[in-house]
C-alpha cells in the first residue's frame, strides 16, 4: 500500500495538534531504530517534538536518505531568529525571464528531476497586463521578447495566509519570522492548501522525488529542502536553511540581472526596506487580503 494511504488512515482521522495523547502514551518508541516506516508512523507534530525527539527524527531522516538515495546529508532544525521578519521584492523592469531563479530553486531544494519541479514559476506577461492567470509559464524562446515582461511567482509568505487555515491537520503554519512552512511528515496530502493558494505556489508530490546521489544538496533542514516524501504538498520557504543563518536565498544569488532584493523588514538600513520606502511597490491580487510579503516594483 502506498505511503499516501497509510498517512490518511493514521493522521487524517481527526488528528489535531491537541489530540496526541496516543502518541504521547507511546513516547519510548521514539528511540532510533532501523524500522524506519514504523517510526515515521508514530512521529509527533514538529511543534510538539522535544529537542531529543527532534534529534531522533532528524537522524532517522538522514539515515532514510542514505538508504533510499545513497547520499550523506545533514538535516538540521533551524529556528527563526528574534528581531527578523523576512521580506522579498522583485524588480519587474530588470527581470528578463531567464528562469535562472527557478533552476536554482530546483537544485537547492532537491526537487524531483523528472518533472523539473521548482517553487518558482516565471510567467511571460503581455505588457499592460497584471493578471498572472493570463501569463504563460511554459515559454521556451530567447528572452526577453519585445512586448512582454516577466513575472516570477513563488510563495508570497502571506501574513494572512489562506493556505494554512484550510489545513485539516495543522500541518502547515506561519512561523514568527514570516515564513510559511509545512511539516512534511505530518501532511496528509489532501491538497486543500494547494487549492486555497491564490498564487499557485504550492506543489504536490505525485511521486517519490527522483534525484541522483551526486545531485542531492546535502545542506538540508527539516522544514525546507530535505527530500520530501511522496504524497505531500510542498512549498517555497525563502530557503530558510540558508536565510535563517543569514545567507541570501538561492534564487536571489542565481539572478543574473540583479532583479531580486531580500532582507529583514525590521532593519531600517536593509535593502528591502529601502525598496519598500523608495519604490512604488505593489503586491499580487491585493484585493484578496492575503497580505503577501513578496513585493513587485518597476524602475522609475
Partner 1 sequence: MHALAFSLTALALVGCPQSEDHGAWRAELFTERENEPRIEPTFDETIRTPDRLRGIAAPAPDGGVVRVACFTCHGILQVELSTRAPTPLQPDVLGPHVGLLFDHGTLDCAHCHDPADPSHLRTADARSLPTTEALELCSQCHGLQWTDFQHGAHGGMRGHWDLNAGPRERNHCVDCHDPHRPAFGQYRPMPPPRDRFVPTPPHRANHGADHASDAHGEGPHDVQGEEAQDDEAHDDEAQEETP
Contact positions toward ligand HEC, by CB under 6 A? Answer: 94, 96, 257-258
**What is the per-residue DSSP string for 37-60?**
HHHHHHPPPGGG--HHHHHHHHHH
Sign of CA dihedral 290, 15, 237, 47: positive
Select the span of 3-11, 20-28, 213-221, 238-246 touching partner 1 (CB under 8 A): 238-246
Site string for partner 1, 80-119 (x = CB under 8 A): ---x-x-x-x-xxxxxxxxxx-xx----------xxxxx-
Report the distance separating Cα 198 and Cα 133, nearest Å.
10
| Beta carbon of residue 94, minimum distance to ligand HEC (angstroms, whole number) | 4
Q: What is the largest CA-CA distance in the chain?
A: 64
Nearest to ligand HEC of 230, 257 (CB atom): 257
Residues forming a β-bridge with 41: none
Q: What angle do CA 182, 188, 190 make, to 5 degrees?
A: 100
Nearest to partner 1 of 14, 268 (CB atom): 268
**What is the per-residue DSSP string for 278-296?**
HS--B-TTGGG----SEEE
Nearest to partner 1 of 55, 191 (CB atom): 191
Applying CB under 8 A, does 54 fall inside the site for partner 1? Answer: no
Applying CB under 8 A, does 192 fall inside the site for partner 1? Answer: no
Applying CB under 8 A, does 273 fall inside the site for partner 1? Answer: yes
Nearest to partner 1 of 17, 94 (CB atom): 94
Phi, psi of 152 (to 5 degrees): -70, 135
Phi, psi of 90 (to 5 degrees): -135, 130
Select the span of 43-51, 72-80, 137-145, 223-231 touching partner 1 (CB under 8 A): 137-145
Nearest to partner 1 of 43, 164 (CB atom): 164
State the pairing for strand pair 121-126/148-153.
antiparallel
Nearest to partner 1 of 48, 175 (CB atom): 175
Applying CB under 8 A, does 214 fall inside the site for partner 1? Answer: no
| Beta carbon of residue 127, minimum distance to ligand HEC (angstroms, whole number) | 13
Query: Which set of grid coordinates corresponds to residue 78?
Result: 533551524
| Beta carbon of residue 69, minimum distance to partner 1 (angstroms, whole number) | 20
Amino acid at each position: 500500500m502506498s505511503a499516501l494511504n497509510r498517512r490518511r488512515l493514521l493522521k487524517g482521522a481527526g488528528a489535531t495538534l491537541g489530540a496526541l495523547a496516543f502518541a504521547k502514551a507511546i513516547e519510548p518508541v521514539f528511540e532510533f531504530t532501523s524500522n524506519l516506516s514504523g517510526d515515521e508512523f508514530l512521529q509527533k507534530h514538529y511543534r510538539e517534538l522535544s529537542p531529543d525527539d527532534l534529534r531522533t527524527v532528524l537522524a532517522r531522516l538522514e539515515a532514510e536518505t542514505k538508504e533510499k538515495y545513497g547520499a550523506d546529508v545533514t538535516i538540521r532544525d533551524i529556528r527563526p531568529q528574534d528581531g527578523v521578519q523576512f521580506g522579498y521584492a522583485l524588480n519587474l523592469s530588470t527581470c528578463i525571464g531567464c528562469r535562472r531563479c527557478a533552476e536554482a530553486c530546483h537544485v537547492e531544494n532537491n526537487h524531483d528531476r523528472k518533472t523539473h519541479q521548482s517553487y518558482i514559476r516565471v510567467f511571460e506577461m503581455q505588457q499592460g497586463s497584471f493578471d498572472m492567470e493570463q501569463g504563460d509559464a511554459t515559454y521556451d524562446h530567447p528572452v526577453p521578447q519585445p512586448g512582454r515582461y516577466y513575472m516570477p511567482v513563488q510563495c508570497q509568505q502571506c501574513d494572512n495566509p489562506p493556505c494554512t487555515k484550510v489545513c485539516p491537520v495543522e500541518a502547515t503554519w506561519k512561523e514568527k519570522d514570516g515564513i510559511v512552512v509545512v511539516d512534511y511528515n505530518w501532511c496528509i496530502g489532501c491538497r486543500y492548501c494547494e487549492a486555497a493558494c491564490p498564487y499557485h505556489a504550492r506543489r504536490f508530490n505525485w511521486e517519490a522525488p527522483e534525484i541522483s546521489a551526486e545531485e542531492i544538496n546535502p545542506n538540508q533542514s527539516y522544514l525546507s529542502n530535505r527530500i520530501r516524501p511522496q504524497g505531500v504538498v510542498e512549498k517555497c520557504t525563502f530557503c530558510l536553511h540558508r536565510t535563517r543563518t543569514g545567507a541570501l536565498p538561492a534564487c536571489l544569488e542565481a539572478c543574473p540581472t540583479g532583479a531580486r532584493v531580500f532582507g529583514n523588514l525590521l532593519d531600517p538600513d536593509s535593502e528591502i526596506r529601502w525598496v519598500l520606502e523608495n519604490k512604488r511597490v505593489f503586491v499580487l491580487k491585493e484585493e484578496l487580503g492575503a497580505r503577501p510579503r513578496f513585493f513587485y516594483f518597476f524602475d522609475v
